[in-house]
Amino acid sequence: MKNGKIYVAGIGPGCEDDITPAVKKAVSVSDVVVGYNYYFSFIQPFVMEGAECVDSGMRKEWDRAQMAFGYAEQGKTVCVISSGDAGIYGMAPLVWEMKRERGSEIEIEVLPGISAFQKAASLLGAPVGHDFCVISLSDLMTPWEKIEKRIEAAAAADFITAVYNPKSEGRYWQLYRLKEIFLQQRAGNTPVGYVRQAGRPEQEVTVTTLADFDPEQIDMFTVVLLGNSQSYNWQGKMITPRGYYQKMKHGDGGFVSKPGQEIMIRSFRTIASELKHPDIPLDRKWVLLHTIHTTADFDMENRFYADEGAVDSIYRALSGGKVKTIVTDVTMAASGIRKGALERLGLEVKCYLADPRVAEMASRMNITRTQAGIRLATEEHPDALYVFGNAPTALMELCSLMRRGKACPVGVVGAPVGFVNVRESKHMLKSFTAVPKIIIEGRKGGSNLAATIVNAILCFDDAGQLLPGRDL
CATH 1.10.3720.10 fits 5-114, yes or no: no
* Predicted confidence (pLDDT) at residue 255 exceeds the cutoff of 50: no
Give residue 1's pLDDT band: very low, low, confident or very high (50, 70, 90). Answer: low
Phi, psi of 437 (to 5 degrees): -145, 150
Question: For the residues 245-274, what does the mean pLDDT come to?
Answer: 64
* Predicted confidence (pLDDT) at residue 245 exceeds the cutoff of 70: no
Query: Element (H or E) spanning 82, and its range?
Result: strand 77-82
Comparing 122-136, 151-165, 273-287, which segment has the lowest mean pLDDT? 273-287
Q: Which CATH architecture has domain 117-239?
A: 2-Layer Sandwich (3.30)
Comparing 175-179, 220-224, 264-268, 452-456, which segment has the lowest mean pLDDT? 264-268
pLDDT tens profile 79-102: 999 999 999 999 999 999 999 999
Question: For the residues 370-394, what does the mean pLDDT come to?
Answer: 96
* Predicted confidence (pLDDT) at residue 352 exceeds the cutoff of 50: yes
Write the DSSP string, 339-384: HHHHHHHT-EEE-GGG-HHHHHHHHHHT--HHHHHHHHHHHH-TTS
Do residues 398 and 412 lie in contact, with contact meaning Cβ atoms separated by under 8 Å? yes
Quote the percentage of the chain above a pLDDT of 90. Answer: 81
Give residue 223's pLDDT band: very low, low, confident or very high (50, 70, 90). Answer: very high
* Predicted confidence (pLDDT) at residue 252 exceeds the cutoff of 80: no
Give residue 55's pLDDT band: very low, low, confident or very high (50, 70, 90). Answer: confident
pLDDT of residue 188: 86
Q: Helix or strand or coil: residue 205?
A: strand
Give residue 76's pLDDT band: very low, low, confident or very high (50, 70, 90). Answer: very high
Mean of the per-residue pLDDT values for the chain? Answer: 92
Catalytic residue among 277, 293, 381, 427: 293
pLDDT of residue 211: 93
Residue 277 among the catalytic residues: no
Do residues 135 and 162 lie in contact, with contact meaning Cβ atoms separated by under 8 Å? yes
Q: Helix or strand or coil: residue 243?
A: coil
**Domain boundaries in the chain?**
5-114, 117-239, 259-465
Q: Which residues contact 263 (CB under 8 A, 6 or more apart)?
A: none
* Predicted confidence (pLDDT) at residue 139 exceeds the cutoff of 80: yes
pLDDT of residue 287: 97
Give residue 250's pLDDT band: very low, low, confident or very high (50, 70, 90). Answer: very low
pLDDT of residue 258: 59
Which CATH superfamily does the domain covering 259-465 fall into? Cobalamin biosynthesis CobH/CbiC, precorrin-8X methylmutase (3.40.50.10230)
Q: Which residues contact 219 (CB under 8 A, 6 or more apart)?
A: 167, 196
Query: Element (H or E) spanning 139, and its range?
Result: none
